[in-house]
Amino acid sequence: MELSYFFYTYFKTREETEDFLLEQIKSIIDDHFTLRVSRQEESEEGEGDTLDFTCNYFGVNTNLRLVQETCEEFSLNLNFGLRIIIYPSGETKFIEFMGNLLKATNGNAILLDENYNKVLERRHRILSVNNYFFKGDFSKLGVPYLDGTYQRFLLQIDIDIKNESIIQIIKPKVVEIANRYIADGEGNVVEDPDFQSHFSYVSDDFRVEVGKGRESNVAVGQIVNMSVGDIYFPEDDRVVGVMQFFKKVIESFKGDCKLSVTKGYLTEDYKKIVLMKREKEVITLNESAEETTILKTVGLG
């Protein structure tokens, strides 16, 4: 399993942080002779420098190149990054290692899988975990946490605009809706100027990704995907906000659309559930879905 961990540290130098990391891994392994450490310097500025350390349970590589990008994408204050590979039977020791890092620091932190889905996150000093990972057992962290599940909501809407720049055309309206109903005007747009067919809107713990989808079923349209993924909890008020956002988007753009939610991480518990459809201006709700009550509450359907 490959993961990425980003966190905020108050250490003044990179060397202090690296010494701190080595202390934490030494505290969880019985045989220090199994610990292998190497350093590589790539530039005078130090951005490409790396510390690699490996034990029988997992391997860690320090890397600062994606820290700023991750700060922007998840609206978190972070200043250090790790790439991690967990070996077979190494999960328990890795969770102990993560617990040591969390106990020894008190700033923001986020652990992401290889697809940049959240495994755990500490924001506003509250730690939440995605119980689809590590068989739901995070007890070895040794710190209090909220037990949640990662869910990704996806709106696919067939907008009646045929233009290569459709994402840039609809961006102002999508941002206006998010500013008004989610962020009170305090969100930010994150995008690559060389990649105009995708952007993200981020505000605190709300993040929506907007990009081109598959080809439209009609000659004059383009399917656009808008997705929101996070660790949610039972009766989480943030889900109401997400549904309110999608409702306003659906009202703002004509065309057939489908709203679905993906739950589960592993093959055995993976579920993709269609929550609603709009076909030829008629909206149909999935009455058996848990989220239908929320859809009705926000006036969708």
pLDDT at 184: 77
Instruction: List b or e across 197-215, with b for residues whose CB sees 16 or more CB atoms inside 10 angstroms.
Output: eebbbbbebbbbbbeebee
Secondary structure (H, E, C), the chain: CEEEEEECCCCCCHHHHHHHHHHHHHCCCCCHHHCEEEEECCCCCCCCCEEEEECCCEEEEECCCCHHHHHHHHCCCCCEEEEEEECCCCHHHHHHHHHHHHHHCCCCEEEEECCCCEEEEEECCEEEEECCCHHHCCHHHCCCCEEEEEEEEEEEEEECCCCCCHHHHHHHHHHHHHHHHHHCCCCEEECCCCCCCEEEEEECCEEEEEEECCCCCCCCCEEEEEEEEEEECCCCHHHHHHHHHHHHHHHHCCCCEEEEEEECCCHHHCEEEEEEEEECCEEEECCCCCCHHHHHHCCCC
Mean pLDDT by 10 residues, the chain (301 residues): 93 86 87 78 58 90 88 94 93 94 94 91 95 87 93 93 88 94 85 90 93 76 92 91 95 93 72 92 93 92 76
pLDDT at 218: 65
pLDDT at 83: 94
pLDDT at 134: 87
